Structure 1
């Protein structure tokens, strides 16, 4: 995807444990659009330091053309803690 209208997006995806019935389940939190890579990596560092109730997180960079609905493959910038396994 090399369209002129494509932009780079940096996303921080936190994960938390939620109680479902009597079990705790790893669930995605609200994704956060970051200003730049450093912003995303600072958020990863906060999770690493144990701040808040987030048990894991991923920071990714991807090329997006929202007008066309095209989303490039995410490039992992950082991962920390409990995150879902990628079966690729």
Structure 2
């Protein structure tokens, strides 16, 4: 089994009143993903919200480990009441 760590920046956008997942971005490391979060905080990147997720994957057999949520900002499905 060839496990690899994947760091994903998942933005969310509003389409009218509906919150939808944008295009996920595979990041080379956690720092790169956190820089994207900082762009939202500073107003450079305009999205409704985003999460940064780290997980172990074995793409050869399609096995994905439990996601570890490293960062969250703004409106994210299932977390709207946390802010």
Identify whether the pair has TM-score above 0.5, normalized to the shorter chain: yes
For the residue of structure 2 that corresponds to 1:52, the secondary structure is coil
Q: Which runs of 4+ in 1 moved over 6 A?
A: none
RMSD: 1.1
Within the candidate set 58, 65, 71, 1:72 is matched to 65
Larger radius of gyration: 1
**When the two structures are superposed, what TM-score results if normalisation uses the length of structure 1?**
0.84
1:15 aligns with 2:8: no
1:47 aligns with 2:44: no
SS of the counterpart of 1:44?
helix
Other structure's SS at 1:68 match: coil
Which has the larger displacement, 49-58 or 29-38?
A: 49-58
- Give the TM-score, by structure 2 length: 0.88
Summarize deviations over 1:49-86 as a string: whole Å, max 9, x none.
22233110000100000111100011111000110116
Gaps of 5+ in 2: none
How many residue pairs get matched? 79
Higher fraction of helix:
2
CA distance in 2, matches of 1:63, 1:29: 22
